[in-house]
Amino acid sequence: MKLVLHNYWRSSASQRVRIGLNLKGLAYDYVVVNIVKADQFVDAYRAKNPMSQVPTLEITEDDGTVRAVNQSLPILEYLEERFPEPSILPKDLYLRARCRALAEIVNSGIQPLQNLTTTNQIKAIGGDAVVWPKRFIADGLMAFENAAADTASSFCVGESPTIADCCLIPQLTSARRFGVDVTPFKRLLAIEEHCLALPAFANAAPDRQPDAVK
């Protein structure tokens, strides 16, 4: 089996999957889809990802069958189900639901309001594409901080990294890029410190990717 990740260095959704792959100890080929240069709209890529978004995980099976999985959370769920150890979801069913809910605060509640398609539209109608997302990011992180109050320890849910951490760490990176003050989120910053001490998170950071713009 061969894994190919079609992604972009600064895409927070791409970073989530890089973290997940690293936590699972899975080797993968890194293929650049430069969303700033509109590579995602090329026909060959659109055939893999009809939404013209990153990331896409392409799986080539041993028998030569090629499949693609789109959207970061389904990719992480696929990795969890196919490669169950080490797990990136809690064993307890209730905690699994809480973990997914935390991930969705980022995935549904924050990231779509800051992604390139959205900010380009804000620019097109004369808005400030940097200032506009800041309130949504700050409010979402506060919601995450509060929602994790009774599940967090070293990580978002307990003592092991999960898909919630895979979503949180890229979102904190994006928050800083948009100039959001993250200092009020003490719980999240403590979790971030634990995460970034792990190579799986540190090596997935945007500035460590081969296409990173310094």
Q: Which CATH superfamily is domain 2-85 in?
A: Glutaredoxin (3.40.30.10)
pLDDT at residue 130, as a whole number: 86
82 contacts: CB under 8 Å, gap ≥ 6 = none
CATH class of the region 93-201: mainly alpha
Least-confidence region, from 90-94, 106-110, 115-119: 115-119
pLDDT at residue 214, as a whole number: 77
Outline which parts of the chain fall under CATH 3.40.30.10: 2-85
Q: Does pLDDT of 129 surpass 80?
A: yes
* Structural Rg of the chain based on CA atoms: 17
pLDDT at residue 126, as a whole number: 94
pLDDT at residue 51, as a whole number: 96
Outline which parts of the chain fall under CATH 1.20.1050.10: 93-201
- Rounded Cα distance between 58 and 28, Å, is 10
pLDDT band at 93 (very low <50, low <70, confident <90, very high): very high
Confirm if 88 and 163 have CB atoms less than 8 A apart: yes
Smallest CA-to-CA distance from 179 within 116, 120, 137 is with: 137
Q: Does pLDDT of 172 surpass 90?
A: yes
